[in-house]
Amino acid sequence: MHRFANPTQFMRIADAVYPWAAGLSLILFLAGLPIALVTSPPDYQQGETVRIMYVHVSSAWLMMMVYGIVAANSAAFLVWRHPMANLVAKASAPMGAVFTALALITGMLWGQPMWGTFWVWDGRLTSTLILFFLYLGYLALGDAFEDSERGDKAAAILALVGSVNLPIIHFSVEWWNTLHQPSIIKMDGMTVDKSLLLPLFLMMGAFTSYYVAVLVLRLRSELLAAKIRNARMSQVAVNQAAQPAE
């Protein structure tokens, strides 16, 4: 793992992955969207409203996967001082916040026709809202200190503490009496009809490969910004050293 701490070596692999991830995302979106929104059958209970599920479930899967990535890389940064782990976490967090917001919005749009209300304070919805605030807190803490390293450490600690919310989100439907539907994949099999699985998995794959492709782009931007900051700091140091002593 430590050999990937070299940004050049890490980005060499990331740049090789990027065209495959971007291409796969495009193909899966082109294949999945028409099936999900047009040709897939309506649900016998939910009717056409079930089409929201293809975006909602995909967003919910990404919001949890991305937070797991943020937390794991935050641990690597705190324990091993892995610089690229910190950059991966920082580059992933804004996307995770967007996926969480999308999951909340699509869930509310689905809840109105199915439950008669946009929001209920059940376990899964509440814990998902907490996850959204954890993402926002991570982003805010990273910029809250003049010393960027202190901000990165504080954000990483928050990410690790907040990771206890992931199993709460997943198991909340089983732990508490809730209106929310159970998870799609359970130990005893699928909880949706097989006719709905193809568009669902296509959309989940499209969202996942999209995240990977955008992550590579954001890492390039983070590394370029770091180079610019280092160059400015070096120039300031040179200018200060060149000034005559009083």
- Tens of pLDDT, residue by residue over 1-40, are 556 667 878 888 899 999 999 999 999 999 999 999 888 8
pLDDT score, position 3: 61
pLDDT band, very low/low/confident/very high, at 246 (cuts 50, 70, 90): low
Predicted TM-score of the model (pTM): 0.88
Collect all residues with Cβ–Cβ distance below 8 Å to 29 and sequence separation of at least 6. Answer: 203, 206, 210
Please name every residue paired with 169 in a beta bridge, in sequence order, or none if there are none. none
Mean pLDDT over each residue of the chain, to the nearest integer:
86
**Considering only CA atoms, which of 5, 160, 149 is closest in space to residue 74?**
160
pLDDT band, very low/low/confident/very high, at 187 (cuts 50, 70, 90): very low
Label residue 196 exposed, middle or buried (CB < 10 Å: 0-12, 13-18, 19+): buried
Answer for the pair 28, 205: CB distance below 8 angstroms, yes or no: yes
pLDDT band, very low/low/confident/very high, at 91 (cuts 50, 70, 90): very high
CA atoms within 13 A on the CB side of 206: 21
